A and B are shown apart, each in its own frame.
Chain A
Amino acid sequence: MFAPWADPAARPLVRFDGVSKRFGTATAVERVSLDIFSGEFFALLGPSGCGKTTLLRLLAGLEMPDDGRILLDGAELTTVPPYRRPINLMFQSYALFPHLTVEGNVAFGLKQEALPKAEIASRVDEMLALVRLEGFAKRKPQHLSGGQRQRVALARSLIKRPRVLLLDEPLAALDKKLRSETQFELMQLQESLGLTFVIVTHDQQEAMTVAGRIAVMDHGRLVQVATPQEIYERPTSRWVADFIGEINLIEGSVIEMGRSGTVVASAAGRLRALSPADVKAGDVVWVALRPEKVRIAHEPPPVEGENCVAGQVADIGYLGDLSIYKVRLDNGIIMKTAVANVTRLVERPINWDDRVWLTWSSEAAMVLTR
Chain B
Amino acid sequence: MSKLEAQRSWGERLILLVPYLWLAAFFLVPFLIVLKISLSHTAVAQPPYTPVFDVAAGWSGVIRALSTLSLENYALLGSDSLYLASYIKSLEIAAGSTLLLLLIGFPIAYGMARAPRRWQPVVFVLVVLPFWTSFLIRIYAWINILQRDGLLNQLLLALRIVDEPPAWLSTDTAVYIGIVYSYLPFMVLPIYATLEKMDETLLEAAADLGCPNWKAFWLVTLPLSRPGMVAGALLCFIPIVGEFVIPDLLGSSQTMMIGQTLWAEFFANRDWPVASAVAVVLLCLLVVPIVIYEQVQTRDLARGG
The interface of chain A, by Cβ under 8 A from chain B, is 60-62, 81-84, 87-89, 91, 93, 95-99, 108-109, 112-113, 138-140, 143, 156-157, 160
Q: Are B208 and A88 in contact (CB under 8 A)?
A: yes
Do A93 and B209 touch across chains, with their CB atoms under 8 A apart? no
Closest to B210 in A: A112
B226: nearest residue on chain A (CB-CB)? A99
Residues in chain A near residue B220, CB distance under 8 A: 97, 99
B211 within 8 A of A: yes
Q: Quote the shortest CB–CB distance from A327 to chain B (angstroms).
A: 49
B-side interface residues toward A, CB under 8 Å?
199, 201-202, 204-212, 215, 219-220, 223-224, 226, 304-305
**B209 and A91 contact, CB distance less than 8 A:** no
For the complex formed, measure the closest distance between the CB of B227 and the CB atoms of chain A, giving whole angstroms: 10
Q: How far is the CA of A97 from the CA of B210 in the complex (A)?
A: 15
Residues of B within 8 A of A156 (CB): 209
B210 partner, pick from A96, A143, A160, beta carbons under 8 A: A160
A95/B201 in contact, CB under 8 A: yes
Assembled-state Cα–Cα distance A95/B204 (Å): 9
In the bound complex, residues from chain A placing their C-beta under 8 Å from that of B204 are: 62, 82, 89, 91, 95
Bound: A99/B194 CA distance, A: 13
* Number of A-B contacts defined by CB within 8 Å: 65
> Are B209's CB and A143's CB within 8 A?
no
- Once A62-B204, A91-B204, A95-B199 are accepted as A-B contacts, the answer to whether A83 and B304 lie under 8 Å apart by CB is no
Identify A109's interface contact among B201, B209, B215, B224, CB under 8 A: B209
CB pairs A–B below 8 angstroms (18 shown): A62-B208, A82-B208, A84-B210, A89-B208, A91-B204, A96-B205, A97-B202, A98-B224, A99-B220, A99-B224, A99-B226, A108-B209, A108-B219, A112-B209, A140-B304, A156-B209, A157-B208, A157-B209
A44 to chain B: closest CB distance in Å? 17
Contact indicator A60/B202 (Cβ below 8 Å) = no
Residues in B with CB closer than 8 Å to A160 are 209-210
A163 to B162, CA, bound (A): 61
Partner of A108, one of B206, B223, B304: B206
| Complexed CA–CA distance, A61 and B288 (Å) | 49
Which residues in B have their C-beta under 8 angstroms from that of A112?
A: 209-211, 215
**A112-B209, A112-B211 given; 5 more Cβ-contact pairs under 8 Å:** A83-B207, A88-B208, A91-B204, A91-B205, A109-B210
Choice from A61, A109, A143, A157 contacting B304 with Cβ under 8 Å? A143
**Docked CA distance A364–B212 (Å):** 55
> Closest CB-CB distance, B195 to chain A, in whole Å?
14
Report chain A residues within 8 Å CB of B208. 60-62, 82-83, 87-89, 157
B215: chain A residues within 8 A (beta carbon): 112
Q: Are A97 and B211 in contact (CB under 8 A)?
A: no
Would A140 and B209 count as touching, CB distance under 8 A? Answer: no
Give the distance in Å from the alpha carbon of A236 to the alpha carbon of B206 in the complex.
40
B203: min CB distance to chain A, Å: 9
Chain A residues within an 8 Å CB radius of B219: 108
Q: Are A97 and B205 in contact (CB under 8 A)?
A: yes
CB distance from B189 to the nearest CB of A (A): 22
Q: Given known contacts A93-B201, A95-B202, A99-B224, is B207 in contact with A62 (CB within 8 Å)?
A: yes
List chain B residues, Cβ under 8 A from A89.
204-205, 208
Residue of B nearest to A89 (CB): B208
Say whether B210 contacts A113, CB under 8 Å.
Answer: yes
> Which chain B residues lie closer than 8 Å to A60 at the CB level?
208
B102 CB to closest chain A CB (Å) equals 19
Q: Which residues of A contact B305 (CB under 8 A)?
A: 140
Please report the C-alpha to C-alpha distance between residue A88 and residue B205 in the assembled complex, in whole angstroms: 9
Contacts known (A138-B304, A143-B304); A95 close to B207, Cβ less than 8 A = no
Asked, given contacts A95-B199, A95-B201, whether A81 binds B207 with beta carbons under 8 Å apart, the answer is yes
Of A88, A93, A97, most B-chain CB atoms within 10 Å = A97
Closest to A108 in B: B209
B210 near A91 with CB under 8 A, answer: no
Q: How many Å from the CB of A310 to the closest CB on chain B?
A: 57
| Distance in angstroms between the alpha carbons of A10 and B173 in the assembled complex | 72
Instruction: Point out which of B199, B201, B210, B304 has the most chain A C-beta atoms below 10 A from its C-beta.
Output: B210
Chain B residues closer than 8 Å to A93, beta-carbon distance:
199, 201
Minimal Cβ-Cβ distance residue in B for A153: B205
| B-side contacts of A96, CB under 8 Å | 205
CA distance A113 to B209 in the complex (A): 10
State the 4 A-B residue pairs at the shortest beta-carbon distance, nearest first: A112-B210, A109-B209, A95-B205, A95-B201
CA distance A98 to B197 in the complex (A): 13
